[in-house]
Amino acid sequence: MKFFVDTADVAEIRELAETGLLDGVTTNPSLIAKSGRDFIEVVKEICTLTDGPVSAEVTALDAPGMIKEGEKLAKIAKNIAIKVPLTWEGLKACKHFTSRGTMVNVTLCFSAAQAILAAKAGATFVSPFVGRLDDVGQDGLHLIGEICEIYSQYDYFETQVLVASVRNPIHIVESARMGAHVATIPPSVMKQLAQHPLTDKGLAGFMADWQKTGQKII
């Protein structure tokens, strides 16, 4: 499974990139607004921090507007993935860009039916929102399983399942078990993956025993 980080905080992206665990970045208008910086400037800087896809989202609601905005965004860097909403107009824009070899992330997916349309439109990624489905009493992980199962039936579906709205490590582990290709993860949740109380307990024990020896490695 590939790990994308879901943030527009350049410092956080730089730190995660240094670990070698980062495969790409996703942004959205809300994350850009939170950064308080110029949209184009932030995206351009993010593209220098990773060789992987960087999702930059359009704000227009009609296909011509999405295409116009997307063409501007695509010029920022070669690793830009144009992010469009999973609407009828968004699917039109998706087809326009994928037909020209530009990566597209179709976002705000909440059903298997929508995911099928995204694959038919040639999307590079489809982003089902797990956490937001959980928030309204539905099973977000069940949707990941449905999409992975459907996509696996057709060799000509090349769209990757990009698990979004991740809230906890369980979302990531279970999605990986189902065969999802990518998870886009908030920095705090990515760090939670490394945490376990028994690891902390074991390390404390090792350190206590080492101190008793009175030795130093350096």
DSSP 170: H
Distance of CA 93 to the CA centre of its chain: 20
> In this structure, which amino acid lies at residue 208?
A
Counting Cα atoms < 13 Å in the Cβ hemisphere of 91 gives: 13
Query: Is 83 annotated in the active site?
Result: yes
CA 164/CA 171 separation, integer angstroms: 9
Task: Provide Rg for the chain, Cα atoms.
Answer: 20
User: Could you report how far apart the first and last alpha carbons of the chain are, in Å?
Assistant: 38
Q: Which helix (H) or strand (E) holds 117?
A: helix 112-120
Q: Which of 83, 95, 201, 216 is catalytic?
A: 83
Rounded to whole angstroms, how far apart are CA atoms 107 and 72? 19
- Give the helix ranges, DSSP H, for the chain: 10-19, 29-35, 39-47, 63-74, 88-98, 112-120, 130-135, 140-152, 169-178, 187-192, 197-213
**CA–CA distance, 23 with 182 (Å, rounded to integer):** 9
Which residues are the active-site residues?
83
